[in-house]
């Protein structure tokens, strides 16, 4: 038996033992793809295990995240920092080897995968970011490939259509997806629900396709097919490999049983004997096997050191490169934020467009785009459209592909080098929710710009009028949700979000709203603050977005009656909750009657207010001002509610 075959069988043995020890996991895919992993990590990919974050490494995405032991085995064997004890603690509390790969948790994991289709779309985003950076800063600093392993489940998800279609249109020649065509799902053979011709489908998207057939255990054929794909410069590539899930298990190959955890002692002993491994040993790794893999893991050291020298000798704009690499602004960038005159009437989506163009040069990583709504959402950046001909363009035409847009943005952010901004109407954030959730889980720095934020959308009616979306987004841990009251608070939103280390939602109006006296950039950073000086208020009126000016109008009327109202803008609950208790109480005293005002569902407001002016129903088709009035989003209703809590 050759050393390479023993290396491959070691991967299989580690998978069997880890899943069996956990009595949980997915054995079959990792076993079947062990030769593919071997080829990628020892023959193909450029990386240095001693520096997993080296910027010019090749990227590897395991979109079939349930097969995580395949990746964990390679990270251990190649010397990325995992230990045998980590593999023994697979799927256990606090382990470095959780059930699905998590970026930031385990060195060498590029993206958090598990929800199928997401990894493929992430890989598209990574390839777009690589090409964009290479066009802007040169191949001396940016010159690598993106590889992804995808399965039947990935390609069944609609997300794969959106992402693959855009990748083909963008002609992403350094993206290679390897399709594990094993014909098995949890419910049984894929033929139960699938009869697609994957090769024809991807060719129609504009991909180069390599149909390798029955080569899952032929490492030379696998390498040759992948290298042919890598040589295609004007299209992404799909390499199709017919594999047999669970191979070489004696009883479970090509069965849905192999999709889950193989824990039968007799079958495990039998397959270990077949592979030349001792059935009495667990987590066995031969010295020569480990040495060979660690040599592969260190093979990229010379390339990394050469890159570091090129980087130190580079005569370009280092400050700008670093700002892109860190998705941050140049020193003093906030000075470029535009100001707005009190009393000026401007839709916050229009303010957004003015702001991002004002800071584009000093926040050079911004790459904006939308789902066919660039002008409508205020995400139009004064730049060329990113394309194969203009890869350095900073405006992406995503088309009507909201789901993929969010997932691609995650890939861009996690690749590094860009600060992705993506926009659509707020009501369509529902299409993006899986990607947004993963942004927050991954701390991927993505700016989600969602406009047309209320029933103020008007005539398009309830299908386009968001009511529950802001509340739903606030339930996602790790996502800062900003709903600025006016143009000044939009500037404050960018001042806060660009200096943060995770994703942010920017919720904007379609309709014009007045620039208010007292709104501030600093107040947005705190999440909530008082707009007027009322030392001993009778009532507090707290609002967000376009409803803050209703609170101000109501407060002025109440003052004429001798009732003193404090007006509070609460643009970001998450930021406000991060302040200390004393600050929060100084803004929203616990013993003062409080009314919340927001053109959305009242869900969540009970923590801040005693009564609510809200929209706990779907909308209606009418001009925006009439629709708002019809559902009670008006100064008169704020007044009535305030007076009611004072009686």
Query: How many CB atoms are located within 10 Å of the residue 558 CB?
Result: 21
CA–CA separation, 223 and 536 (whole Å): 75
Name 475's Cβ contacts closer than 8 Å, sequence gap at least 6.
none
The catalytic position among 210, 402, 574, 598 is 402
| Coil vs helix vs strand at 558 | helix
- Widest Cα–Cα separation across the chain: 93
Going by C-alpha positions, the residue among 573, 577, 580, 584 that lies closest to residue 540 is 584
* CA gap 77, 456 in Å, rounded: 57
Q: Mark whether 402 is an active-site residue.
A: yes
**Cross-strand bridge partners of residue 611:** 595
Helix axes 287-298, 68-78, angle to 10 degrees: 90
Tell me the β-bridge partners of 146.
59, 175
Cβ–Cβ under 8 Å, residues 150 and 178: yes
Closest to 154 (Cα-Cα) out of 103, 183, 122, 115? 115
Helix 3-22 and helix 68-78, axial crossing angle in degrees, nearest 10: 120
Cα 458 to its chain centre, rounded Å, is 31
2 contacts: CB under 8 Å, gap ≥ 6: none
Residues 488, 465: Cα–Cα separation, whole Å: 25
Residue with tokens 């590539």, as numbered in its chain: 237
Decide if 253 contacts 244 (C-beta within 8 A).
yes
Q: Tell me if 638 sits within 8 A of 595, measured CB to CB.
A: yes
User: Phi and psi (nearest 5°) for 367?
Assistant: -125, 110
User: What amino acid positions are annotated as catalytic residues?
Assistant: 402
């Amino acid at each position: 038996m050759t050393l390479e075959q023993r290396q491959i069988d070691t991967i299989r043995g580690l998978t069997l033992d880890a899943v069996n020890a956990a009595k949980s996991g997915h054995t079959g895919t990792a076993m079947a793809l062990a030769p593919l992993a071997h080829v990628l990590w020892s023959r193909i990919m450029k990386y240095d295990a001693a520096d997993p974050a080296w910027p010019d490494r090749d990227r590897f995405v395991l979109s079939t995240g349930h097969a995580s032991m395949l990746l964990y085995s390679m990270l251990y064997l190649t010397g990325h920092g995992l230990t045998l004890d980590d593999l023994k603690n697979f799927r256990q509390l606090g382990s470095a080897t959780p059930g699905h790969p998590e970026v930031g948790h385990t060195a060498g994991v590029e993206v958090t995968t598990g929800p199928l289709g997401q990894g493929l779309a992430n890989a598209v985003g990574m390839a777009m970011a690589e090409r964009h950076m290479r066009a802007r800063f040169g191949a001396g600093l940016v010159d690598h490939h993106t590889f992804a392993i995808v399965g039947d489940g990935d390609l069944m998800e609609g997300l794969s259509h959106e992402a693959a279609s855009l990748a083909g249109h963008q002609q992403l020649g350094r993206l290679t997806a390897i399709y594990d065509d094993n014909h098995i799902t949890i419910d049984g053979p894929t033929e139960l629900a699938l009869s697609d011709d994957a090769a024809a489908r991807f060719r129609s998207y504009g991909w180069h396709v390599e149909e390798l057939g029955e080569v899952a255990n032929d490492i030379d054929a696998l390498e040759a097919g992948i290298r042919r794909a890598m040589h295609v410069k004007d299209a992404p590539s799909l390499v199709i490999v017919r594999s047999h899930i669970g191979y070489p298990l004696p009883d479970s190959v090509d069965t849905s049983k192999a999709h889950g955890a193989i824990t039968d002692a007799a079958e495990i002993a039998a397959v270990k004997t077949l592979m030349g491994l001792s059935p009495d040993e667990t987590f066995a790794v031969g010295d020569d096997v480990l040495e060979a893999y660690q040599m592969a893991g260190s093979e990229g050291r010379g390339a990394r050191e050469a890159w570091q020298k090129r980087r130190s000798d580079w005569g370009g704009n280092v400050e700008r490169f670093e700002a892109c690499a860190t998705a941050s602004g140049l020193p003093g960038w906030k000075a470029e934020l535009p100001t707005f005159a009190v009393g000026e009437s401007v839709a916050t989506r229009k303010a957004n467009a003015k702001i991002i163009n004002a800071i584009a040069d000093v926040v050079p990583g911004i790459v904006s785009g939308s789902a066919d709504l660039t002008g409508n959402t205020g995400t139009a950046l004064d730049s060329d459209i990113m394309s194969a001909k203009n890869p350095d363009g900073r405006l992406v035409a995503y088309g009507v592909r909201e789901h993929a847009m969010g997932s691609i943005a995650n890939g861009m952010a996690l690749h590094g080098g860009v600060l992705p901004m993506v926009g659509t109407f707020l009501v369509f954030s529902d299409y993006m929710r899986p990607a947004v959730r993963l942004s927050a889980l991954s701390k991927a720095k993505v700016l989600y710009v969602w406009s047309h934020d209320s029933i103020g959308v008007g005539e398009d009616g309830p299908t386009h009028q968001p009511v529950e979306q802001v509340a739903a987004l606030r339930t996602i841990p790790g996502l800062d949700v900003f709903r600025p009251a006016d143009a000044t608070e939009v500037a404050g939103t960018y001042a806060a979000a660009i200096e943060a280390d995770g994703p942010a939602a920017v919720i904007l109006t379609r309709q014009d709203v007045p620039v208010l006296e007292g709104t501030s950039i600093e107040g947005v950073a705190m999440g909530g603050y008082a707009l007027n000086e009322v030392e001993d208020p009778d009532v507090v009126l707290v609002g967000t977005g376009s409803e803050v000016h209703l609170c101000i109008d109501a407060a002025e009327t109440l003052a004429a009656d001798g009732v003193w109202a404090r007006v509070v803008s609460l643009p970001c609950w998450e930021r406000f909750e991060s302040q200390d208790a004393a600050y929060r109480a100084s803004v929203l005293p616990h013993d003062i009657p409080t009314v919340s005002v927001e053109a959305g569902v009242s869900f969540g407001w009970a923590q801040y207010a005693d009564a609510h002016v809200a929209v706990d129903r779907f909308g209606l088709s009418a001009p925006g001002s009439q629709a708002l009035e019809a559902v009670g989003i008006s100064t008169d209703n704020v007044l009535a509610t305030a007076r009611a809590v004072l009686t």
